[in-house]
A and B are shown apart, each in its own frame.
Chain A
Amino acid sequence: EPEVTQTPSHQVTQMGQEVILRCVPISNHLYFYWYRQILGQKVEFLVSFYNNETSEKSEIFDDQFSVERPDGSNFTLKIRSTKLEDSAMYFCASSLGQSSYNEQFFGPGTRLTVL
């Protein structure tokens, strides 16, 4: 069964460093998402991406964040200069069509720890 994959599973970085979190969505899916979950808190939407463009982004998704689909398979989230409060679990998701009518499939997550 096709699945969303994410690498790495755990990333430890120093404050101020750049990190890139990688995702491989399900191959025929067209819509891609990043979410994050700070420990003990609810999952929060970061950004959605369709047709090589950011569709929607939350208040959290400031200039320190960017997303890219550099090739036909990967979908990446870059944090330019990490802060302590960026420590969280980051989930990638993909869907075949718009999420209003289509199930989103989640990856296993990348746990980011900023020291």
Chain B
Amino acid sequence: KNEVEQSPQNLTAQEGEFITINCSYSVGISALHWLQQHPGGGIVSLFMLSSGKKKHGRLIATINIQEKHSSLHITASHPRDSAVYICAVTQGGKLIFGQGTELSVKP
């Protein structure tokens, strides 16, 4: 069983739509990260959170520690948001990654 599960695995949206990507984890963590991976392969950190909610531009990340669940929301989606979004949790000194959600936003 994967320690970090994301859903959906693939998501296609129309420009302007509100998008939600979910992440559930089964291990004790000290923090949860949302990362973005572009087609070229590079990984960029979007959020690190251990409680509550964080917002950066059109991106919002929430975490519920009791339910071991986090969501990443994208408001007013745009084709440039197309990428793989990865949830990862910090356990000790390492990150444990989910399998990623491939998002495609059509104009």
Contacts and interface: CB of A to CB of B under 8 A. Distances in A.
A86 B49 CA distance: 32
Contacts of A50: 93
A89 interface: yes
A42 B90 contact: no
A56 interface: yes
Give the secondary structure class of B's interface. strand
Interface residues of A, number: 28
A41 B94 CA distance: 18
B41 A31 contact: no
Give the secondary structure class of A's interface. strand
Nearest to B86: A43
A45 B96 contact: yes
A43 B88 CA distance: 9
Contacts of B99: 41-42
A75 interface: no
A35 B35 CA distance: 14
Contact of A106 (B30, B31, B44, B98): B44
Given A100-B31, A101-B31, A103-B48, A43 B94 contact: no
Interface in A82-98: 89, 91, 98
A98 B93 contact: yes
Interface of B: 30-31, 33, 35, 40-45, 48, 86, 88, 90, 92-100
30 contacts: A31-B93, A35-B97, A37-B41, A41-B99, A42-B97, A42-B98, A43-B88, A45-B94, A45-B96, A48-B93, A56-B92, A58-B94, A89-B41, A91-B43, A99-B90, A99-B93, A99-B94, A99-B95, A100-B30, A100-B92, A101-B30, A101-B31, A102-B48, A106-B42, A106-B44, A106-B45, A108-B41, A108-B42, A109-B42, A111-B41
